[in-house]
Structure 1
Amino acid sequence: MYVMLWRIDAGDYAGALEIGRHALRHGWVMPLGNRNVQTVLAEEMADAAQSALLAAAGFDADLLLQTLDLTTDLDMPDQSRARLHKAIGAVLSESNPASALNHLNHALQLDPRCGVKKEKQQLERRLRNDSR
């Protein structure tokens, strides 16, 4: 399971997702930790996306959407799931603002303190202005 984390750290997100998919399918657990595989995968992918955005580098939204798809029906803390939705909203904000707003709203429902209120207001304003 460390290889999954190393791949994320090295920027091989598709490889990390493949390992995560296999681990979830076969019931693997994280060694020495209090987080389960789906939580680690969701949090680490979300953090990688946020870091890429802060560095003004792109991040493939499809990787985050695949992560969400893999972890949707699995148990994890609401804060972790909100973090993933927040990252998806941030990545999609330029290319698909309506979908981004949906993800930010979902993040806010899961964790009211997840830090998306300002981004949500900006997207709502932008969508209102675009519809005029």
Structure 2
Amino acid sequence: MAFSSNSGGANSAMCDINVTPLVDVMLVLLIIFMVTAPILSYPIDIDLPQKSLNPPENRRDPPEPIDLRIDSVGQVYWNQSPVPLSALRNMMETEVQRDPGNQPTLQIDMDLQAEYGILAQVLASARNAQMQKIGFVKK
């Protein structure tokens, strides 16, 4: 009888914790979180290539990739030739206009000590020039 909750008699106070209200509140919170969790997710639009039953017959070889290197002081090199950052967009637009359907790949190699702002300007120039194939090279 040492574990009985009413060992003091019929009129004694109950010493056990009532967990029923706590369980009720936790279940209500669980339901609220389950309902609101799908609302908090944001869709991201991605243009994925679609399956084609008829592949194009006039397959062309891809052009040579463009090696774009950014060194530690922020100098940009276009195929091992130094280029000012202001002229980069015009050069990219020229490459895109040669053959918009068969663009060269822009391979960006950046020194670890270079500023991120230079890379952001290069990527903005590539986007404004409508370049579609951009890759990063780690050496």
TM over 0.5: no
More helix by proportion, 1 or 2?
Answer: 1
Compute the TM-score of the two structures, normalised by the length of structure 2: 0.30
Q: Which has the larger radius of gyration?
A: 2
Q: Which has the higher contact order (CA 8 A, sep 6+)?
A: 2
Compute the TM-score of the two structures, normalised by the length of structure 1: 0.31
More strand by proportion, 1 or 2?
Answer: 2
